Amino acid sequence: MFTGIITDIGEVRALEQAGDLRVRIATGYDTSSIDIGASIASDGVCLTVVALGPDWYDVQVSAETVAKTNLGDWTAGRRVNLERALRLGDELGGHIVSGHVDGVAEIVGLSAEGDSLRVRFRAPVGLAGFIAPKGSVALNGTSLTVNEVEGAEFGINLIPHTRSVTTWGDVALGDRVNLEIDTLARYVARLREWERSLDAQ
């Protein structure tokens, strides 16, 4: 479980396709405090640590994860948002994030708005109904507030601080972004679906 508050920016050092995809990620975390088997959200994807070095960790990525996320776009040198798993007593500064990406959104608009950057995304049609104005989404692992929604498109504002402590300072039109919808929205939708099925019986 995560909060969507990014605590490090890592860098992809190497990728190797050997059965599953294996990725080495450089990090500023103290790797002596990371256990093999620990979960680290890397651009919002919960990945399991399978090897460790003095300033890096390796993860193994299944074909299913590559297909559902933007990890297939990763290349050596790419910067990635990192967050270690939530621990008991940690501050919940963002919102509850599972690290289970629902789909990939595309950046379709960028515009300056004061000191902030307004970013417009196009969500997969099947996920658009879970996104609501003033609700939360996790985008590349970052907990962000939705400003407006129009059909399958939605907008968010990035303040300078967010752009400086995450990879959001690197964004460009056409970028594919990992999208995780709010857990509460998912359960509300499931409850409504269940109620409709009961009414139909």
Strands (E), the chain: 8-18, 20-26, 39-42, 45-52, 56-61, 79-84, 103-113, 116-122, 136-139, 142-145, 148-150, 153-158, 176-181
- How far apart, in whole angstroms, are the C-alpha atoms of residue 55 and residue 120? 35
Closest to 153 (Cα-Cα) out of 120, 183, 185 = 120
Do domains 8-84 and 103-191 share one topology? The answer is yes
The tens place of each residue's pLDDT in the chain, 201 residues long, gives: 788 899 999 999 999 998 899 999 999 999 999 999 999 999 999 999 999 999 999 999 999 999 999 999 999 999 999 999 876 656 666 677 888 999 999 999 999 999 999 999 999 999 998 999 999 999 999 999 999 999 999 999 999 999 999 999 999 999 999 999 987 766 666 677 777 777 777
Q: Which CATH class is domain 103-191?
A: mainly beta
Domain spans, the chain: 8-84, 103-191
Dist. CA 152–CA 129, nearest whole Å = 8
Q: Which value, in Å, is the radius of gyration of the alpha carbons in the chain?
A: 17
Say which CATH architecture domain 8-84 belongs to: Beta Barrel (2.40)
Task: Name the nearest CA neighbour of 74 among 19, 122, 31, 16.
Answer: 16
Please state the pTM of the whole predicted model.
0.89
Cβ 33 vs Cβ 40: under 8 Å: no
Residues paired with 97 in a beta bridge: 2
* Cα 80 → chain centroid: 10
The DSSP 8-state label assigned to residue 2 in this structure reads B
Q: Which residues pair with 47 in a beta bridge?
A: 40
C-alpha span between 44 and 98 (Å, rounded):
9
- Please report the pLDDT score of residue 201 as a whole number: 72
